[in-house]
Structures are given as structure tokens and as C-alpha cells.
Chain A
Amino acid sequence: MTRRRIVLALVACVVGVGAVAAWQRIQDLSLETQATNPIVRWEWVFLREDTPAELWEATLQHLQLTLMAVGIGFVLASVLAAVALRFRWTFPPITAFTGFLYTVPSVALFGILVTYYSNTEAALIALVSYTLLILVRNIVAGIAGVPRAVVDAADGLGMSRVRRLLTVELPLAVPVIVAGLRVATVTTVGLVGITAIIQLGGLGSLIFEGFNSQYYTKMVVGSALSVGLAVALDLLFSRAEIALTPWARRRAS
């Protein structure tokens, strides 16, 4: 325990010193000193008026597309999962199909879809199909994983099928479902970066723009933000997972 604390303290110190040093450097700079092309040009990030707004807009675009794809994917996956749970024989073909969708290379899928649909539609279709495998699998595993004894107890209490689903099976399936949502979301964040090749903006376009103007800073900032977004969403979902299963925590403590 104490070793970990020491390490954490050291890391915090390094980060703190680094932050102070960076701030000092920024204070000494101005927009005029732009003759070089260093790895990160801090002035562009912090001093230029429009940059924070542009970065925020790019992040928001990225987030919107991610959430939309995961949302639609979740709805579709729930439907497929419901079918698979009700008619057990459909589960292997459904898994095979969603698994196949997952295998299709993303650049190729975007490419082909964009020749038939508009850019946004193509991106959404592709992004949604990549989420289906993990979501269907987790929803089914979650609900099917509820112990038989609990289901019987609920039936014994006289609950209707729907009531049982909503008040017993779903809450118990939540951890697995949220875990699936978590993986799907993080994966989608990465894939949205690729949609920049079909001009869908977001943080991926920062990276491409940076490359086209041979400008390191944009590329580094773009990818740092997209990694940051993925990490933030991951944390959000892991918190949600913990918050939604209070009984697991009580059992553990």
C-alpha cells in the first residue's frame, strides 16, 4: 500500500512540475514566434483565440457521432437479443452474422457504403454494425446469466414475464450489459477517427489536417483528445457500472 502511495506522489510531483514549466513557457511566448515546427506548439493550443472553440467543436462532433452510433446499436442489439433469447435457435446465426460484420475492415466498409449513401448515413451504418457483435453478445449473456434459482423465485412470487424481465432479470444483467456498452463505446471512439476520410470531421479530421499541412501540433492534439475522450467515456461507464450494482458492493464489503 505505502509503495503505491509513494509512486502516486512521485507521479503527481512530476505532473505538477511539468504543468508549471509548461505554463511558464507559454507565458513567455506570443503568437509571433511561429517560425518553427516543434512537436507541440503550445501557443496554437492555448493562446490563439479560436482554438479552444474549434477543439471543443471537434470533440463534440466526435462525441455526437459516437453516442449516436452506440445508441442506435444498443436499440438494434436489444431487439436482436430479445429475439435470440426468445427463440434460442436464432442465437448462433445472429452471432455469426454480427461477427461477420465485425470482421469487415472499417476503411473498406466506409468506402463501400459511401458510394451508396451520404457520408453521415454511411458512417452510422458502419459504426452501428461494429457495435452489434459485442452488444448482442453481452445483452444475451447478461440476461441468460441470471441464475436459474432467481428466475424461479420470481416466477414463484407470481410475477408476469414482463415484470420479471424489468424488475429482476434486467437489473441483474446490468453489469454485463454496461460492460458491453463500455467496450462498444471505446471502440467506436477510435473508429470515428477513421471517418475523417469521408470528411466527417471530429478529432480525426484534426489529425488528417495536421498531416496535410505537415503540422505536428494538430496531429498530436487531435489524437491526445481522442484518446482522452475514450478514457473519459471508459471511466464514465465503469462508474455507471459500479453505481448500478449496489448489491455487488454490499456483498463485497
Chain B
Amino acid sequence: MEFKRRRRALIALVMVLGLLAGACGDKGSTSSDSGDDDSSGSGSGTEKSEETIRLAPQDFAESKTLTEVYGQYLKAKGYTIEIQPAKGFREEVYPGLRDGDIDMIIDYTGSAANELDPDGTPSADSDETYDRLEAALKDEGLVAYDYSEAEDKNALVMLKSFAEENDITTISDIKPVQDKIVLGGAADCATRTDCLLGYQDPGIYGITFKEFKALEYGPALTAALDANEIQAAQYQTTAPAIETGEFVVLEDDKGLLSADNIVPVMRSEVAEAYGDELQEALDEVSAKLTTEDLIAWNVGTDVDKEEPEDVAEAWLEESGLL
């Protein structure tokens, strides 16, 4: 009698150990730590059509939705796609592109150009910015495809009520009241020339904010703005609250913020391996995308708390691409 019980207990323990062993075995295949191991055989530029194209979004909703949109469309076209979890912003994603850990990202022309070429001049013109980006990418072994007319520029936003109270319509208007203004933004804003560094630069705006608060880019940032924890936020022109009039975008009178059209960027080996077909597929999506779509997506993810994959799928179906 007692022997049977002992055996059952032993079996339970063995099962637990088995789960453990299974865990050890599975670890290599989960994509959550794919950033750690070196990509195996992807830099060889072979023409296997089963080879996976790895996309990585940046750590905010719009980037995730964009990546899902392009990724799901390519998947439907027959490519093997892997969409990795977001690990950070451009600073974390580009090294992955360069090292060959990821193959493609959906980026924004101006911000990418600023990241790769910090000394260059930002421009509000889409074509100029795209050329600047292409030139910068060439040295990195990366290539960009056609940019979309859909645009999401970085913008300094404020609560409409606060801006009206303090008579602020342009970014330069902040300077006289700079001691009252706490700037909020993603952590990477602090090291970007088109963000905090640009605002602080005496040659451009020369504003010394009361404080810079790093927050998660997204609803957390807007909630802080709503609660008046921060008075100005470096956010995006496609934010839902701008549409509803709750936030106002401050005019960039010194031309710091550049055009930011959606553009797929990928490693040149992958581009060569897949050729024109891939380009056509990507261009199809880019052509269909408009800025209103971006705003609608953000309403879905930020206000209605929907998942980026679902928003992406719904849009693809609505626009007839899926």
C-alpha cells in the first residue's frame, strides 16, 4: 500500500523534473531570447525561400502595429516571417540590424536619418529627408524602400489649456517660462539631437527645462501630461488626443523636427536575396498607408486598449490587402 504511494510521489517528482528538462530543451526555440544568440546562417545571403525574415518593432504601440501590418501582409504573401518582441528604441534596434540579428524594421525617415547621421541638417521636406536617409544607410549595409505618404512626426505637445494659459504656440515660446516646464519623453529622448539635446542646444532653442522625466512612450506619457505631472511631452503627431483637441502641437519654429514618413529598412543581403518581389509587396502596403490610418490605429491601441496584432489584422482586411 505504502509502496504504491511512494511510487506515485516519485512519478510526480519525475514529471516535475521532466518539465524542467523540457524547459531546458525549449529555451532555444522561444523567440523571447532570440536577441541573445547569434543568428545562425542568416548572413550568408542564400536564396532559400524558407529562410525567415525577422522584423523587430520599437517599444511603442504604433511601431508594433506597423510591424504587424507589414509582417502579416508578407506572411500572407508566403514569406516566413518572425516578429520579435520589442526590446527598446532605435538605439537598441539598429545594432541588431547591423549585427544581423534582425533583418527588417519599419522606421521613420527623419528620425532614422538623425540617428545615423546626427550632424546632418534636419528637413521638413519628405524627399530631402529620404535622400539623406538613403545616403546614411549605404554606409551601414542597409537599404530603404519607397517611403509612404503616411507620416508621424515627433512633436512637442502640451495640454491645450496650459498652452493657452501661458500663451505658448511655438517651441520658442517656452523659453520665458522654462522654469515651469517639466519635459516628459521616452528615455532615449535624452540622448537624441532631435529631442532634448536639440532643445537644450543654445544654437537652436537653448531651453533649459525644469526637469526631464523619462517615461514609457505611450499612454503612460499622455496620462502624465493629463495629470500635469509634466507640462510638455515629446510625443507623436498621430496621437489620438491631438485629434480630439486635448493636446496642441507646438510649432517647430527653428526647424528641429524633420519629416518622418514610414519606410521599410532592411539589410542589403536580405534585399538582394529576395529581390523585386519583396520590394513590390512592401511598396503595396506603403502606398495604401495614410496618416489617418496611423491615427486610427493609435485610437485602437491607446484608447480602446486593443492589441497591435488585432488592429493590424483589421486594417489589412478593411483595406483589401488580406
A and B touch in their complex, CB below 8 angstroms = yes
Which residue of A has the minimal Cβ distance to B220?
A212
Contacts of B305 in A (CB 8 A): 34, 37, 41, 44, 213, 215, 217
B6 pairs with A118, CB closer than 8 A: no
B9 pairs with A240, CB closer than 8 A: yes
| CB of B98 closer than 8 Å to a CB of A | no
B306 pairs with A120, CB closer than 8 A: no
| CB of B223 closer than 8 Å to a CB of A | yes
Interchain CB contact (< 8 A) of A200 among B12, B24, B32: B32
B218 pairs with A212, CB closer than 8 A: yes
| Interface residues in B279-322 (C-beta closer than 8 Å to A) | 301-307, 309-310
Binary per-residue interface labels of chain A (58-74) against chain B in the complex, 1 for a CB within 8 Å, 0 otherwise? 00010111011001000
A214 pairs with B32, CB closer than 8 A: no
Q: Would you give the shortest CB distance from B64 to chain A, in whole angstroms?
A: 11
Q: Would you give the shortest CB distance from A178 to chain B, in whole angstroms?
A: 9
A244 pairs with B61, CB closer than 8 A: no
A119 pairs with B33, CB closer than 8 A: yes
Q: With A120-B36, A213-B301, A214-B223 as known contacts, state yes or no: A68 contacts B13, CB within 8 Å.
A: no
A71 pairs with B17, CB closer than 8 A: yes
Interchain CB contact (< 8 A) of B9 among A61, A63, A201, A244: A244
Interchain CB contact (< 8 A) of B216 among A211, A239, A246: A211
State in angstroms the CA–CA spacing of A61 and B23 once bound together: 9
A199 pairs with B219, CB closer than 8 A: no
| Interface residues in B1-49 (C-beta closer than 8 Å to A) | 2, 5-6, 8-9, 12-13, 16-17, 19-20, 23-24, 26-27, 30, 32-33, 35-36
Contacts of B87 in A (CB 8 A): 199
State in angstroms the CA–CA spacing of A239 and B13 once bound together: 11
Which residue of A has the minimal Cβ distance to B222?
A214
Interchain CB contact (< 8 A) of A211 among B17, B85, B220, B307: B220
Q: Would you give the shortest CB distance from A241 to chain B, in whole angstroms?
A: 9
Q: With A64-B23, A214-B220 as known contacts, state yes or no: A243 contacts B304, CB within 8 Å.
A: no
Interchain CB contact (< 8 A) of B5 among A50, A120, A243: A243
| CB of A1 closer than 8 Å to a CB of B | no
| CB of A35 closer than 8 Å to a CB of B | yes
Which residue of B has the minimal Cβ distance to A210?
B305
Q: With A64-B27, A211-B220, A244-B6 as known contacts, state yes or no: A119 contacts B35, CB within 8 Å.
A: yes
Q: With A41-B305, A213-B301 as known contacts, state yes or no: A68 contacts B20, CB within 8 Å.
A: yes
Binary per-residue interface labels of chain B (144-170) against chain A in the complex, 1 for a CB within 8 Å, 0 otherwise? 000000000000000000000000000
Which residue of A has the minimal Cβ distance to B301?
A213
The interface size of chain A toward B, counting residues with CB under 8 Å, comes to 35
Which residue of B has the minimal Cβ distance to A239?
B12
A243 pairs with B223, CB closer than 8 A: no
| Interface residues in B88-104 (C-beta closer than 8 Å to A) | none
State in angstroms the CA–CA spacing of A215 and B305 once bound together: 7
A64 pairs with B35, CB closer than 8 A: no
State in angstroms the CA–CA spacing of A221 and B35 once bound together: 27
A35 pairs with B33, CB closer than 8 A: no
Contacts of A44 in B (CB 8 A): 305
State in angstroms the CA–CA spacing of A120 and B218 once bound together: 27
State in angstroms the CA–CA spacing of A37 and B305 once bound together: 8
Q: Would you give the shortest CB distance from B227 to chain A, in whole angstroms?
A: 11
Q: Would you give the shortest CB distance from A22 to chain B, in whole angstroms?
A: 19
A240 pairs with B12, CB closer than 8 A: yes
Q: With A37-B305, A44-B305 as known contacts, state yes or no: A118 contacts B23, CB within 8 Å.
A: no
State in angstroms the CA–CA spacing of A250 and B218 once bound together: 60
State in angstroms the CA–CA spacing of A217 and B27 once bound together: 28
18 further interface pairs, Cβ-Cβ under 8 Å (given A120-B33, A120-B36, A212-B219):
A34-B304, A48-B307, A50-B310, A63-B19, A64-B26, A67-B16, A118-B36, A200-B32, A201-B32, A211-B216, A212-B216, A213-B219, A217-B305, A240-B12, A240-B13, A243-B8, A244-B6, A246-B5
28 A-B residue pairs with Cβ-Cβ distance under 8 Å, sorted by A, are A37-B305, A41-B305, A50-B309, A50-B310, A63-B23, A64-B23, A65-B23, A67-B19, A67-B23, A68-B20, A68-B23, A71-B20, A118-B33, A199-B85, A199-B87, A200-B32, A212-B216, A212-B220, A213-B219, A213-B301, A215-B305, A240-B9, A243-B5, A243-B8, A243-B12, A244-B6, A246-B6, A250-B2
Q: Which 10 interchain pairs have the tightest Cβ spacing?
A: A243-B9, A118-B36, A64-B23, A214-B219, A212-B216, A246-B2, A34-B304, A71-B20, A201-B32, A215-B305
